[in-house]
């Protein structure tokens, strides 16, 4: 997807680039129109957080990498926003952690699932799940309940960028460990996640990959110690503090 001609020196370069990617995603049939609204909400929180990765988010990203490496069957859930924003980075994360990529949409249409799967393949993905949709997440009546039996349904650890609160709770009831990326620390999904990552997906996904590569050969005990030491309440509280204090 072609990026716009914005000079890198522009103070809002990253945010303009991100907007353009979401817009191009809508044009390509990848991102839903509601995705534009979600992007606006995300941008507002990113602005309040100082458009940078907080130390507490960096710790969450390291804990997420440890969870993915320890998992029996890790899956990275992909929606229309994250597919438009960082497709190649999702493929790299899946490769670094041995996770499956599964398209799972809030506003599901078969056409959009196929377009996202094709888009991920264009960015190097070998296998993309989510097309079979032969199982359901119990207790959810909307389209996001549709999952693959050998994908999210079987997973023990799921990384969900931009999750909706209902499904986050439903996956939790299934006993899955959820790693949620969401710029809004008050949103229900990060609040129910084992690892809430309050950061922009465009920074969070590559950073989880970097940690996964660093930790790839670490002994299990070291990974378990990272998971144990992570304090989800403290991470959420730190993000709220940063917003109140203005990006600090």
CB of 227 to ligand PTJ, least distance (A): 22
Neighbours of 49 (CB within 10 A): 23
Kindly list the distances between the CA atom of residue 224 and the CA atoms of 57, 109, 118, 158, in Å, as whole numbers in the listed order.
Answer: 19, 39, 36, 17
d(CA 144, CA 88): 23
121 annotated binding-site participant: no
CB of 46 or CB of 70, closer to ligand PTJ: 46
CB of 129 to ligand PTJ, least distance (A): 15
CB of 64 or CB of 223, closer to ligand PTJ: 64
CB of 102 or CB of 223, closer to ligand PTJ: 102
d(CA 178, CA 67): 9
CB of 89 or CB of 164, closer to ligand PTJ: 164
19 annotated binding-site participant: yes
Residue nearest ligand PTJ, CB atom distance: 42
| 66 φ, ψ (degrees, to nearest 5) | -65, -45
188 annotated binding-site participant: yes
Kindly list the distances between the CA atom of residue 229 and the CA atoms of 44, 55, 188, 205, 213, in Å, as whole numbers in the listed order.
Answer: 30, 15, 23, 21, 20
**Site for ligand PTJ, rule CB under 6 A:** 32, 34-35, 38-39, 41-42, 45, 79-81, 85, 105-107, 162, 164, 181-184, 187, 200-201
């Amino acid at each position: 997807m072609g990026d716009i001609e914005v000079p890198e020196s522009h103070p809002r370069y990253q945010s303009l680039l991100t907007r353009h990617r979401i817009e191009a995603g809508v044009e390509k049939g990848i991102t839903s129109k509601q995705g534009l609204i979600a992007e606006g909400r995300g941008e507002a929180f990113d602005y309040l957080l100082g458009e940078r990765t907080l130390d507490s988010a960096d710790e969450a990203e390291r804990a997420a990498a440890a969870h993915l490496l320890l998992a029996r069957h890790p899956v990275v859930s992909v929606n229309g926003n994250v597919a438009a924003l960082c497709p190649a980075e999702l493929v790299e994360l899946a490769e670094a952690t041995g996770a499956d990529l599964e398209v799972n949409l809030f506003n599901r249409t078969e056409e959009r699932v196929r377009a996202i799967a094709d888009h991920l393949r264009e960015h190097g993905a070998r296998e993309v799940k989510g097309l079979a949709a032969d199982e359901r997440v119990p207790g959810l009546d909307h389209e996001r309940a549709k999952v693959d039996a050998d994908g999210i349904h079987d997973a023990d650890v799921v990384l969900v960028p931009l999750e909706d609160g209902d499904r986050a709770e439903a996956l939790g009831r299934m006993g899955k460990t959820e790693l949620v990326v969401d710029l809004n620390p008050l949103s229900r999904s990060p609040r129910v996640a084992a690892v809430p990552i309050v950061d922009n997906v465009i920074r969070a996904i590559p950073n989880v990959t970097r940690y996964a590569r660093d930790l790839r050969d670490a002994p299990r005990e070291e990974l378990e110690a990272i998971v144990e030491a992570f304090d989800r309440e403290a991470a959420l509280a730190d993000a709220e503090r940063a917003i109140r204090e203005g990006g600090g």
